[in-house]
Structure 1
Protein backbone atom coordinates (compact mmCIF):
# COMPACT_ATOMS: atom_id res chain seq x y z
CA UNK A 1 0.00 0.00 0.00
CA UNK A 2 1.43 3.37 -1.05
CA UNK A 3 1.84 5.93 1.73
CA UNK A 4 0.44 9.38 1.03
CA UNK A 5 2.72 12.30 1.77
CA UNK A 6 2.11 16.03 2.02
CA UNK A 7 5.09 16.67 -0.25
CA UNK A 8 3.62 14.47 -2.98
CA UNK A 9 0.24 16.16 -2.64
CA UNK A 10 1.85 19.58 -2.94
CA UNK A 11 3.78 18.46 -6.02
CA UNK A 12 0.56 17.26 -7.66
CA UNK A 13 -1.21 20.54 -6.89
CA UNK A 14 1.71 22.56 -8.29
CA UNK A 15 1.78 20.59 -11.55
CA UNK A 16 -2.01 20.68 -11.83
CA UNK A 17 -1.94 24.48 -11.45
CA UNK A 18 0.35 24.70 -14.48
CA UNK A 19 -1.87 22.40 -16.54
CA UNK A 20 -5.06 24.29 -15.64
CA UNK A 21 -3.40 27.60 -16.53
CA UNK A 22 -2.26 26.26 -19.90
CA UNK A 23 -5.32 24.24 -20.92
CA UNK A 24 -8.18 25.57 -18.79
CA UNK A 25 -10.46 23.35 -16.73
CA UNK A 26 -12.17 21.66 -19.67
CA UNK A 27 -8.95 21.08 -21.63
CA UNK A 28 -7.02 19.67 -18.69
CA UNK A 29 -7.18 15.95 -17.91
CA UNK A 30 -6.06 13.72 -15.09
CA UNK A 31 -4.06 11.76 -17.68
CA UNK A 32 -2.06 14.85 -18.62
CA UNK A 33 -1.53 15.85 -15.01
CA UNK A 34 -0.41 12.35 -14.02
CA UNK A 35 2.04 12.26 -16.94
CA UNK A 36 3.61 15.55 -15.89
CA UNK A 37 3.78 14.52 -12.26
CA UNK A 38 5.55 11.38 -13.34
CA UNK A 39 3.18 8.89 -11.81
CA UNK A 40 0.10 6.87 -12.64
CA UNK A 41 -3.52 7.93 -12.66
CA UNK A 42 -4.06 5.52 -9.77
CA UNK A 43 -1.58 7.51 -7.69
CA UNK A 44 -3.28 10.76 -8.65
CA UNK A 45 -6.73 9.43 -7.74
CA UNK A 46 -5.28 8.27 -4.43
CA UNK A 47 -4.90 11.93 -3.50
CA UNK A 48 -7.81 13.49 -5.38
CA UNK A 49 -10.99 11.64 -6.26
CA UNK A 50 -11.78 13.79 -9.31
CA UNK A 51 -10.51 16.57 -11.55
CA UNK A 52 -13.01 18.88 -9.85
CA UNK A 53 -11.54 18.17 -6.41
CA UNK A 54 -8.02 18.76 -7.72
CA UNK A 55 -9.05 22.02 -9.39
CA UNK A 56 -10.59 23.26 -6.14
CA UNK A 57 -7.38 22.33 -4.27
CA UNK A 58 -5.42 24.42 -6.76
CA UNK A 59 -7.68 27.46 -6.43
CA UNK A 60 -7.74 27.24 -2.64
CA UNK A 61 -3.97 26.90 -2.44
CA UNK A 62 -3.50 30.01 -4.55
CA UNK A 63 -6.16 31.95 -2.67
CA UNK A 64 -4.74 31.06 0.74
CA UNK A 65 -1.41 32.68 -0.11
CA UNK A 66 -3.17 35.97 -0.89
CA UNK A 67 -6.06 35.97 1.57
CA UNK A 68 -4.37 34.82 4.78
CA UNK A 69 -2.34 38.05 5.26
CA UNK A 70 -5.40 40.19 4.46
CA UNK A 71 -7.58 38.56 7.13
CA UNK A 72 -4.70 38.51 9.59
CA UNK A 73 -4.29 42.28 9.16
CA UNK A 74 -8.05 42.76 9.56
CA UNK A 75 -7.99 41.08 12.95
CA UNK A 76 -5.08 43.22 14.12
CA UNK A 77 -6.85 46.46 13.15
CA UNK A 78 -10.07 45.90 15.09
CA UNK A 79 -9.61 49.07 17.17
CA UNK A 80 -8.66 51.40 14.29
CA UNK A 81 -11.03 53.68 12.38
CA UNK A 82 -13.65 51.27 11.05
CA UNK A 83 -14.19 52.91 7.67
CA UNK A 84 -10.46 53.08 6.98
CA UNK A 85 -9.94 49.47 8.05
CA UNK A 86 -12.74 48.22 5.78
CA UNK A 87 -11.50 50.44 2.93
CA UNK A 88 -8.06 48.82 3.08
CA UNK A 89 -9.63 45.38 3.44
CA UNK A 90 -11.99 45.89 0.51
CA UNK A 91 -9.29 47.15 -1.84
CA UNK A 92 -6.96 44.25 -1.02
CA UNK A 93 -9.69 41.63 -1.35
CA UNK A 94 -10.90 43.04 -4.67
CA UNK A 95 -7.36 43.17 -6.05
CA UNK A 96 -7.20 39.39 -5.56
CA UNK A 97 -10.70 38.31 -6.60
CA UNK A 98 -10.68 40.57 -9.67
CA UNK A 99 -7.38 39.22 -10.99
CA UNK A 100 -7.62 37.43 -14.32
CA UNK A 101 -6.63 34.13 -12.74
CA UNK A 102 -9.32 34.38 -10.05
CA UNK A 103 -12.02 35.37 -12.54
CA UNK A 104 -11.15 32.46 -14.83
CA UNK A 105 -11.25 30.04 -11.90
CA UNK A 106 -14.65 31.31 -10.78
CA UNK A 107 -16.02 31.03 -14.31
CA UNK A 108 -14.89 27.40 -14.44
CA UNK A 109 -16.54 26.64 -11.09
CA UNK A 110 -19.82 28.23 -12.20
CA UNK A 111 -19.75 26.38 -15.54
CA UNK A 112 -19.23 23.00 -13.88
CA UNK A 113 -21.36 23.46 -10.77
CA UNK A 114 -24.51 22.11 -12.39
CA UNK A 115 -22.77 18.87 -13.33
CA UNK A 116 -20.79 18.05 -10.19
CA UNK A 117 -20.22 19.09 -6.58
CA UNK A 118 -17.41 21.47 -7.54
CA UNK A 119 -19.49 24.48 -6.43
CA UNK A 120 -19.95 23.10 -2.93
CA UNK A 121 -16.29 22.12 -2.65
CA UNK A 122 -15.18 25.55 -3.82
CA UNK A 123 -17.53 27.41 -1.47
CA UNK A 124 -16.88 25.38 1.66
CA UNK A 125 -13.11 25.43 1.29
CA UNK A 126 -12.80 29.09 0.32
CA UNK A 127 -15.53 31.77 0.36
CA UNK A 128 -17.32 30.24 3.35
CA UNK A 129 -14.16 30.49 5.47
CA UNK A 130 -13.63 34.08 4.39
CA UNK A 131 -17.21 35.00 5.25
CA UNK A 132 -16.82 33.42 8.69
CA UNK A 133 -13.68 35.46 9.41
CA UNK A 134 -15.28 38.66 8.18
CA UNK A 135 -18.41 37.94 10.23
CA UNK A 136 -16.25 37.53 13.33
CA UNK A 137 -14.70 40.95 12.76
CA UNK A 138 -18.08 42.59 12.16
CA UNK A 139 -19.56 40.94 15.25
CA UNK A 140 -16.76 42.45 17.32
CA UNK A 141 -17.56 45.88 15.87
CA UNK A 142 -21.23 45.37 16.79
CA UNK A 143 -20.25 44.51 20.36
CA UNK A 144 -18.22 47.73 20.52
CA UNK A 145 -21.21 49.74 19.35
CA UNK A 146 -19.58 50.79 16.09
CA UNK A 147 -22.20 48.95 14.02
CA UNK A 148 -25.84 48.23 14.83
CA UNK A 149 -26.59 44.80 16.24
CA UNK A 150 -27.50 42.31 13.50
CA UNK A 151 -26.67 38.82 12.29
CA UNK A 152 -22.92 39.11 11.54
CA UNK A 153 -23.04 36.36 8.91
CA UNK A 154 -25.73 38.25 7.00
CA UNK A 155 -23.78 41.49 7.40
CA UNK A 156 -20.67 39.80 5.97
CA UNK A 157 -22.70 38.61 2.99
CA UNK A 158 -24.09 42.10 2.44
CA UNK A 159 -20.63 43.66 2.51
CA UNK A 160 -19.08 41.16 0.10
CA UNK A 161 -22.07 41.46 -2.25
CA UNK A 162 -21.68 45.24 -2.31
CA UNK A 163 -17.95 44.94 -3.02
CA UNK A 164 -18.60 42.43 -5.81
CA UNK A 165 -21.43 44.35 -7.46
CA UNK A 166 -19.28 46.86 -9.36
CA UNK A 167 -16.24 44.66 -9.81
CA UNK A 168 -16.47 40.87 -9.77
CA UNK A 169 -19.89 40.53 -11.35
CA UNK A 170 -19.12 42.67 -14.45
CA UNK A 171 -15.73 40.96 -14.80
CA UNK A 172 -17.31 37.49 -14.75
CA UNK A 173 -19.40 38.21 -17.83
CA UNK A 174 -16.74 40.24 -19.59
CA UNK A 175 -18.37 43.66 -19.35
CA UNK A 176 -15.35 45.37 -17.80
CA UNK A 177 -11.70 44.82 -18.56
CA UNK A 178 -8.91 44.82 -15.95
CA UNK A 179 -9.72 47.30 -13.19
CA UNK A 180 -7.14 49.84 -12.04
CA UNK A 181 -6.27 50.47 -8.41
CA UNK A 182 -8.27 53.68 -8.65
CA UNK A 183 -11.30 51.74 -9.93
CA UNK A 184 -11.07 49.32 -7.01
CA UNK A 185 -10.58 52.14 -4.51
CA UNK A 186 -13.64 54.03 -5.72
CA UNK A 187 -15.79 50.89 -5.94
CA UNK A 188 -14.81 50.01 -2.37
CA UNK A 189 -15.61 53.53 -1.16
CA UNK A 190 -19.09 53.44 -2.70
CA UNK A 191 -19.77 49.96 -1.30
CA UNK A 192 -18.78 51.09 2.19
CA UNK A 193 -20.96 54.19 2.02
CA UNK A 194 -23.95 51.93 1.50
CA UNK A 195 -22.87 49.27 4.02
CA UNK A 196 -21.94 51.66 6.81
CA UNK A 197 -25.07 53.69 6.21
CA UNK A 198 -27.23 50.60 6.54
CA UNK A 199 -25.39 49.22 9.57
CA UNK A 200 -24.76 52.49 11.43
CA UNK A 201 -25.73 52.40 15.11
CA UNK A 202 -29.07 54.01 15.92
CA UNK A 203 -28.80 57.77 16.20
CA UNK A 204 -25.21 58.15 15.05
CA UNK A 205 -22.83 57.30 12.21
CA UNK A 206 -20.50 54.33 12.33
CA UNK A 207 -16.88 55.16 13.13
Structure 2
Protein backbone atom coordinates (compact mmCIF):
# COMPACT_ATOMS: atom_id res chain seq x y z
CA UNK A 1 0.00 0.00 0.00
CA UNK A 2 1.09 3.58 -0.59
CA UNK A 3 2.71 5.52 2.21
CA UNK A 4 1.91 9.10 3.16
CA UNK A 5 -0.99 11.03 4.59
CA UNK A 6 -2.51 11.94 1.24
CA UNK A 7 -3.94 8.45 0.68
CA UNK A 8 -6.13 8.84 3.77
CA UNK A 9 -7.40 12.36 3.05
CA UNK A 10 -10.85 11.87 1.64
CA UNK A 11 -14.10 13.26 2.99
CA UNK A 12 -17.00 10.85 2.70
CA UNK A 13 -19.90 12.51 0.81
CA UNK A 14 -23.07 12.81 2.87
CA UNK A 15 -25.23 11.31 0.12
CA UNK A 16 -22.95 8.35 -0.69
CA UNK A 17 -24.13 4.74 -0.47
CA UNK A 18 -23.94 2.62 2.68
CA UNK A 19 -21.30 0.43 1.04
CA UNK A 20 -19.06 3.40 0.28
CA UNK A 21 -19.37 4.63 3.88
CA UNK A 22 -18.34 1.18 5.11
CA UNK A 23 -15.29 1.12 2.83
CA UNK A 24 -14.22 4.53 4.05
CA UNK A 25 -14.67 3.42 7.66
CA UNK A 26 -12.35 0.48 6.99
CA UNK A 27 -9.80 2.82 5.43
CA UNK A 28 -9.85 4.99 8.54
CA UNK A 29 -9.37 1.91 10.72
CA UNK A 30 -6.35 0.89 8.64
CA UNK A 31 -4.54 4.16 9.30
CA UNK A 32 -2.98 2.77 12.45
CA UNK A 33 -1.60 -0.29 10.69
CA UNK A 34 1.30 1.60 9.12
CA UNK A 35 4.16 3.57 10.61
CA UNK A 36 6.63 5.21 8.21
CA UNK A 37 5.71 2.73 5.50
CA UNK A 38 6.09 -0.32 7.74
CA UNK A 39 3.15 -2.70 8.24
CA UNK A 40 2.63 -3.08 11.99
CA UNK A 41 0.50 -6.22 12.24
CA UNK A 42 3.33 -8.66 11.51
CA UNK A 43 6.86 -8.91 12.91
CA UNK A 44 8.41 -8.84 9.45
CA UNK A 45 6.54 -5.69 8.40
CA UNK A 46 5.07 -7.48 5.37
CA UNK A 47 1.37 -7.35 4.56
CA UNK A 48 -0.72 -10.33 5.71
CA UNK A 49 -4.27 -10.95 4.55
CA UNK A 50 -4.98 -13.12 7.60
CA UNK A 51 -3.68 -10.54 10.09
CA UNK A 52 -5.66 -7.79 8.36
CA UNK A 53 -8.85 -9.84 8.33
CA UNK A 54 -8.55 -10.70 12.02
CA UNK A 55 -7.84 -7.07 12.86
CA UNK A 56 -10.95 -5.94 10.97
CA UNK A 57 -13.41 -8.41 12.48
CA UNK A 58 -11.97 -8.20 16.01
CA UNK A 59 -12.85 -10.73 18.70
CA UNK A 60 -16.03 -12.51 17.64
CA UNK A 61 -17.86 -15.10 19.76
CA UNK A 62 -18.11 -18.45 17.99
CA UNK A 63 -21.65 -19.30 16.91
CA UNK A 64 -22.48 -22.74 18.23
CA UNK A 65 -24.73 -23.55 15.28
CA UNK A 66 -22.13 -22.57 12.66
CA UNK A 67 -21.09 -26.19 11.99
CA UNK A 68 -24.69 -27.17 11.22
CA UNK A 69 -25.24 -24.14 9.00
CA UNK A 70 -22.07 -25.02 7.05
CA UNK A 71 -22.45 -28.81 7.11
CA UNK A 72 -20.99 -30.56 4.06
CA UNK A 73 -24.28 -32.47 3.81
CA UNK A 74 -25.88 -29.29 2.41
CA UNK A 75 -25.37 -27.85 -1.05
CA UNK A 76 -23.02 -24.84 -1.08
CA UNK A 77 -25.79 -22.48 -2.21
CA UNK A 78 -27.99 -23.71 0.65
CA UNK A 79 -25.21 -23.13 3.20
CA UNK A 80 -24.59 -19.60 2.02
CA UNK A 81 -28.23 -18.47 2.13
CA UNK A 82 -28.79 -20.21 5.47
CA UNK A 83 -25.75 -18.49 6.98
CA UNK A 84 -26.99 -15.09 5.82
CA UNK A 85 -30.48 -15.84 7.16
CA UNK A 86 -29.12 -16.95 10.56
CA UNK A 87 -27.33 -13.62 10.88
CA UNK A 88 -30.26 -11.59 9.55
CA UNK A 89 -28.19 -10.43 6.58
CA UNK A 90 -30.54 -11.35 3.74
CA UNK A 91 -31.81 -8.27 1.94
CA UNK A 92 -35.41 -8.44 3.11
CA UNK A 93 -37.63 -5.37 2.82
CA UNK A 94 -37.07 -4.64 6.51
CA UNK A 95 -33.30 -4.79 6.11
CA UNK A 96 -33.44 -2.53 3.06
CA UNK A 97 -35.18 0.11 5.15
CA UNK A 98 -32.52 -0.20 7.86
CA UNK A 99 -29.87 0.37 5.20
CA UNK A 100 -31.78 3.43 3.97
CA UNK A 101 -32.60 1.74 0.66
CA UNK A 102 -35.84 2.99 -0.84
CA UNK A 103 -38.54 0.34 -1.26
CA UNK A 104 -41.94 0.67 -2.91
CA UNK A 105 -43.71 -2.13 -1.07
CA UNK A 106 -42.66 -3.60 2.29
CA UNK A 107 -45.25 -6.41 2.40
CA UNK A 108 -44.33 -10.09 2.13
CA UNK A 109 -44.99 -11.18 -1.45
CA UNK A 110 -45.52 -14.87 -0.66
CA UNK A 111 -48.63 -14.57 1.52
CA UNK A 112 -51.70 -12.35 1.85
CA UNK A 113 -51.15 -11.17 5.42
CA UNK A 114 -50.11 -7.68 4.35
CA UNK A 115 -47.29 -7.49 6.89
CA UNK A 116 -43.71 -6.30 6.51
CA UNK A 117 -41.27 -8.78 5.05
CA UNK A 118 -38.88 -9.48 7.91
CA UNK A 119 -36.58 -12.49 8.33
CA UNK A 120 -38.77 -13.96 11.07
CA UNK A 121 -41.94 -13.46 9.04
CA UNK A 122 -40.56 -14.76 5.75
CA UNK A 123 -39.09 -17.99 7.14
CA UNK A 124 -41.38 -18.65 10.11
CA UNK A 125 -44.73 -16.83 10.09
CA UNK A 126 -45.46 -16.63 6.36
CA UNK A 127 -48.26 -19.06 5.41
CA UNK A 128 -46.40 -20.15 2.26
CA UNK A 129 -43.25 -20.90 4.27
CA UNK A 130 -45.21 -22.73 6.97
CA UNK A 131 -46.73 -24.97 4.31
CA UNK A 132 -43.25 -25.85 3.01
CA UNK A 133 -42.00 -26.71 6.51
CA UNK A 134 -45.04 -28.97 7.07
CA UNK A 135 -44.61 -30.74 3.71
CA UNK A 136 -40.98 -31.55 4.42
CA UNK A 137 -41.71 -32.51 8.04
CA UNK A 138 -44.17 -35.13 6.77
CA UNK A 139 -41.43 -36.50 4.55
CA UNK A 140 -38.73 -36.66 7.24
CA UNK A 141 -41.09 -37.72 10.04
CA UNK A 142 -39.37 -35.21 12.31
CA UNK A 143 -41.38 -32.27 13.66
CA UNK A 144 -39.32 -29.24 14.58
CA UNK A 145 -40.71 -26.24 16.40
CA UNK A 146 -39.87 -23.46 13.96
CA UNK A 147 -39.61 -20.09 15.68
CA UNK A 148 -36.39 -18.96 14.05
CA UNK A 149 -33.66 -20.48 11.87
CA UNK A 150 -30.90 -20.06 14.44
CA UNK A 151 -33.14 -21.45 17.18
CA UNK A 152 -34.07 -24.45 15.03
CA UNK A 153 -30.42 -25.28 14.35
CA UNK A 154 -29.71 -24.92 18.07
CA UNK A 155 -32.44 -27.44 18.90
CA UNK A 156 -30.99 -29.85 16.33
CA UNK A 157 -27.57 -29.39 17.92
CA UNK A 158 -28.92 -30.28 21.36
CA UNK A 159 -30.77 -33.40 20.18
CA UNK A 160 -29.37 -36.76 21.28
CA UNK A 161 -28.90 -37.85 17.68
CA UNK A 162 -25.90 -39.20 15.87
CA UNK A 163 -23.85 -36.57 14.07
CA UNK A 164 -24.90 -37.74 10.61
CA UNK A 165 -28.60 -37.40 11.52
CA UNK A 166 -28.08 -33.90 12.94
CA UNK A 167 -26.26 -32.82 9.80
CA UNK A 168 -28.88 -34.36 7.51
CA UNK A 169 -31.77 -32.60 9.26
CA UNK A 170 -29.78 -29.34 9.36
CA UNK A 171 -29.11 -29.68 5.63
CA UNK A 172 -32.82 -30.23 5.03
CA UNK A 173 -33.61 -27.06 6.98
CA UNK A 174 -31.02 -25.24 4.89
CA UNK A 175 -32.68 -26.45 1.70
CA UNK A 176 -36.05 -25.16 2.94
CA UNK A 177 -34.55 -21.75 3.76
CA UNK A 178 -32.94 -21.57 0.33
CA UNK A 179 -36.13 -22.45 -1.54
CA UNK A 180 -38.25 -20.02 0.48
CA UNK A 181 -35.80 -17.27 -0.44
CA UNK A 182 -35.73 -18.45 -4.06
CA UNK A 183 -39.54 -18.46 -4.27
CA UNK A 184 -39.60 -14.97 -2.78
CA UNK A 185 -37.14 -13.69 -5.38
CA UNK A 186 -39.01 -15.34 -8.26
CA UNK A 187 -42.26 -13.73 -7.12
CA UNK A 188 -40.76 -10.30 -6.46
CA UNK A 189 -38.44 -9.97 -9.45
CA UNK A 190 -39.95 -12.30 -12.08
CA UNK A 191 -43.60 -12.19 -11.12
CA UNK A 192 -43.66 -16.00 -11.05
CA UNK A 193 -45.32 -17.95 -8.24
CA UNK A 194 -43.66 -21.19 -7.11
CA UNK A 195 -46.16 -23.87 -6.10
CA UNK A 196 -45.69 -25.35 -2.62
CA UNK A 197 -45.69 -28.94 -3.93
CA UNK A 198 -43.13 -28.01 -6.60
CA UNK A 199 -40.77 -26.45 -4.03
CA UNK A 200 -41.17 -29.37 -1.61
CA UNK A 201 -40.44 -31.89 -4.38
CA UNK A 202 -37.29 -30.01 -5.38
CA UNK A 203 -36.10 -29.90 -1.76
CA UNK A 204 -36.54 -33.66 -1.39
CA UNK A 205 -34.78 -34.30 -4.70
CA UNK A 206 -31.76 -32.15 -3.77
CA UNK A 207 -31.40 -33.74 -0.33
CA UNK A 208 -31.63 -37.30 -1.70
CA UNK A 209 -29.09 -36.56 -4.45
CA UNK A 210 -26.73 -34.90 -1.97
CA UNK A 211 -26.85 -37.84 0.43
Fold shared per TM-score above 0.5: no
TM norm structure 2: 0.28
- Higher-Rg member (1/2): 2
After TM superposition, the score normalised by the length of structure 1 is: 0.28
Higher helix share: 1
